[in-house]
Each structure stands twice: as C-alpha cells, then as structure tokens.
Structure 1
C-alpha cells in the first residue's frame, strides 16, 4: 500500500496568493507556440476558505505538431487542509481531446475521477486517498511555493495524484541563479522535479523538469523547462501581478 513520506515546511510562507495573476509565453525550440495564464482568488463556501486556482493555455501560432491548443482548468484548494477538493481539466490539443473531473471526498478518503471524450460515454473510477495533505497536477506547484523547503540542496516531498495513482513527488533545490525573462531579471532558486507530475498531452514532459522560482516569499515561477517528445519546451514569465492586493 502507498505510504507517503512527507518532508515540507508545515508553517509555510506568509505570501497571500489571493489576487495573483501570472502570464507566460511558451516556446518550443525557437518558436513561440502558446500563451498561458493563471489567476488565483480566495473564496468562502459554507464557512470554509478555498483558493480558486484557474489556468488557460492558448495557441499563439500554428507550428508543426502543436496545431490548435485550447486548454483550461480550475481547482478548489482547501486552505486549512492544504489539499484540493475539486479539480477540472479540459484539454483540446489537436486530436487529443479530453475533459477530466476529480472530486475529492475528504471525509471518506476517496477520489472519483470522471473522464469524458466527445462522442463517448464518460468513464468513472474511484481511488483511495492515502493521507492528507496531498496535491494533484494543478495544485502541486502552489503547495510547493507555500510549503517548500527553499535551501540549496534541500528537498521537499509530498504525495501527488496524477489522475491514475498517487506518487511521491520530490522537488530539489539545486542552486541559486539569476534569470532573465521578458518580465525582468530575477534572483531565483533553480529546482528539479519528476515529469510524472506534468499533464498528459503535447506538453507532457520526459525526464526531469526544471523550475526557476523567485527567492522572495512569493516564490513565483519565472521559468519552467523540460524535454517533450520532440525537442524541449519552456515557459517564461511575461507579466505578473502579486497576490495580497
């Protein structure tokens, strides 16, 4: 049976994600292929506070096998439990078309996954949640930004639900590095993690994924890079609005 072995900063940073908006340009080899954005808002439902995390990816130009890309998704993240309660992902990437809804029942410790392809009956599967907190493909980066151990050589370990199974994610801080992106020049922590936590589709990465996050309490990702089926893809920060405003 899967047994998580945690290693994270339980107190976390004081950074407030509420109101944050980030915009990125995505590049494949030398081509600008897509734009991405994410925004976060704090909401309250039945007395419980959540972060509503939303993201969108849209094609910037038709290049090679990327064709038309229209991805979007959102997640409701329980602030107190540091865990998602619902995540929806819609992927439209050329011939790859799929909607996925993850519903997390934290009382009964189960997750129900509903997958739907146009013209097909939806499929439903249920999985056992091993422990709390855990993350999924949308919330993992926010958990790491809030509760990661940001020291060179340190690693942060926590469980992530990939949509088919729970795995342990190990994020390691490799070094401090100054990085220049369209939004400016930043002092960052360069980190590595497994590509198992990247969504399936044209941007599914292979091997290690590298992230450069700012060294202040916001730990904003200013660059992400990794190999895909053909070549490599990277995302660079174009504009940012910090949370807490």
Structure 2
C-alpha cells in the first residue's frame, strides 16, 4: 500500500544546484553535483534532474569512476518519462535508457555495453506515481511524510525490478557539514534503490534532510563493499518558491 503526502510542499526545484564531497574513512574519494531545470515540452511541464559523480585517484577501489545521468520527470504523473544513466567504472561500463510509457503502464529498458548488442527488456509498471534511482529522492523530498516515526511508501524501479520502497523518518538531528549547520530529519531507506557499481549500498542508506520545505539532503551515508561512504553538502543554490 502506498503512503505519501499527496499535497506536497510549495518548494520548486527549478534552479537548484547541490554539490557534495564524498569520503571513505579519512579519504576524499569523489565529488558529486546535481542540478535541476524546468522545461516545457509541447505544453507539458517537466523537471530535468541531472547528476554527475567523478572520483579522485586517492583510493584504488574508487579510482577512475565517472558516472552521470538525467531524468525527465512529468509533473502531471509525478513520474519519470525518460531516465538515462552512463556508468564508467573501470570494467563496469554501461549505458542504460529507461523509457516510461505512463499511459500504457509499461517500461522499456535499453542496456548497452561497448562492443556488444543492445539488450532490451520490457516491464509492467505496477502503479503511478512511480520513481526510479534518479527520481526517488526528489519525490520523497516533495511528497514525503516528514513526521518522526512515519513511513513514506511508493514504487521504485531498482534497475531490474519494482519494489515498494519505504523511507522512514527516525528522528530530528542537528548536523554540521561544510555548507553549514542544519536542523534535519534523519531518514532510512533500503540500499536496493542505489545503482550497481562501486557506490552500490549493501544495507540501509541514511539521509539527513533539512526540516524546512526544501528538505535539502545535506548528508548521505551508506555501506559499500569495502566500508562506509559519506556524502556531505559543500555548496548549494536554492530553487524558487511557487
């Protein structure tokens, strides 16, 4: 059963930019950036969510990683129309295009490795709204239930199957990161919604989101194959209010 705040917040993501520094133990291993624009295509309003992660060459396990992607999110359906992911992680090199036919409740995934033929799979979408690994956090920020102990439940495509992901608000906590000190909600969600590769989380992921209507993710922490990775917000530019 799905459970979310159908009214959502008044915060408009348009123009938002977030920059993060990622650390493994004491080592700075990567930098990440996400940015958002609003687009009008044939009278239909979309958000375009974009992100990029590039690693530093400090720790061999994380060396040479450059991932990027985007998603066109249909504001009528509160769901993505198209998501593209490009992963360049040593031997794990892959491009994936997810095309959502929201009217007919189907999803087509085209996966391509260099030197190989495309692989195409089709899935039935179980419910709308539906999210994926690019759009899930934005949906939760806007339509999540931000009360201590509350769970927000909505369908997410993990890259190979649909699950009803649960994001639980654990407690309020003051957090200090390079971008400043923030009053936050500490939340937990399943690592199943993180992408394959070096940053695939094996257990629950913890997120600290501000308690205001923006719900900015100022800190994210999770367990990867060789230990804990923490992403902290270092700079941000706010979106605009409606």
Which residue number corresponds to residue 24 of structure 1?
20
SS at match of 1:156: strand
The answer as to 2:132 corresponding to 1:119 is no
Q: Deviation at 1:138?
A: 0.3
Which of 175, 181, 200 aligns to 1:204? It is 200
Give CA-to-partner distance per residue, 1:29-50, whole Å, 9 cap, x none. 2110100000000001111100
Q: Deviation at 1:95?
A: 1.4
How many pairs are equivalent? 241
SS at match of 1:213: strand
SS at match of 1:8: coil
- Kept after mapping to 1: 8 A contact 2:27/2:58: no
**Range with greater deviation from structure 2 (92-101 or 54-63):** 54-63
Which residue number corresponds to residue 179 of structure 2?
183
**Range with greater deviation from structure 2 (57-66 or 148-157):** 57-66
Give runs of aligned pairs for residues 71-220 of structure 1, distance below 5 A. Answer: 71-220=67-216
Q: Deviation at 1:93?
A: 1.1
SS at match of 2:121: strand
Quote the Cα distance in structure 2 between the aligned partners of 1:161 and 1:65: 27
TM-score, normalised to structure 2's length? 0.98
TM-score, normalised to structure 1's length? 0.97
Q: Deviation at 1:65?
A: 1.1
Quote the Cα distance in structure 1 between the aligned partners of 2:122 and 2:141: 29
- Kept after mapping to 1: 8 A contact 2:56/2:63: no
SS at match of 1:145: helix
Quote the Cα distance in structure 1 between the aligned partners of 2:14 and 2:21: 23
**Range with greater deviation from structure 2 (52-61 or 84-93):** 52-61
The answer as to 2:61 corresponding to 1:68 is no
Give CA-to-partner distance per residue, 1:165-193, whole Å, 9 cap, x none. 11010000000000000001100000000
